[in-house]
């Protein structure tokens, strides 16, 4: 099968990113995945959407709605490990690795 590529189409497979494009797969809404023969036969998924509906990589409607942190300010992890020693240890001499 011959794939017709426009000037703005990628030339490398969107699934493996190594082989040249030799096949296409229709994904609806007039869009298509451009794949190499091996990835097309294996029905491999695309690895990344460069321009999703909102036009920015990894920006989704959910992320816009919930903001940077969806559940308020960042929280400390539940187990912070042992407490720091008191008094703190003396610094290592210059030119030696930290202890």
What pLDDT sits at residue 88?
A: 84
Average pLDDT value for residue range 36-45: 91
Give the residue with greater pLDDT, 49 vs 14: 14
Query: Is 74 inside a domain boundary?
Result: no
Cα 46 from Cα 24, distance rounded (Å): 12
Cα 99 from Cα 69, distance rounded (Å): 36
Residue 22 has pLDDT above 90, yes or no: yes
73, with CB counted inside 10 A (0-12, 13-18, 19+), is: exposed
Residue 25 has pLDDT above 60, yes or no: yes
Query: Is 90 inside a domain boundary?
Result: no
Query: Is 47 inside a domain boundary?
Result: yes
Domain count, the chain: 1
Residue 90 has pLDDT above 70, yes or no: yes
Query: Is 59 inside a domain boundary?
Result: yes
The whole domain housing 60 covers 23-66
* pTM given for the model: 0.47
């Amino acid at each position: 099968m011959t794939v017709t590529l426009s000037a703005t189409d990628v030339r490398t497979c969107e699934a493996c990113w190594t082989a040249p494009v030799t096949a296409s797969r229709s994904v609806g809404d007039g869009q298509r995945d451009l794949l190499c023969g091996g990835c097309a036969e294996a029905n491999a998924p695309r690895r990344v959407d460069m321009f999703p509906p909102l036009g920015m990589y990894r920006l989704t409607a959910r992320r816009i709605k919930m903001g940077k942190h969806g559940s308020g300010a960042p929280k400390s992890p539940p187990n912070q490990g042992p407490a720091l020693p008191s008094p703190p240890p003396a610094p290592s001499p210059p030119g030696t690795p930290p202890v």
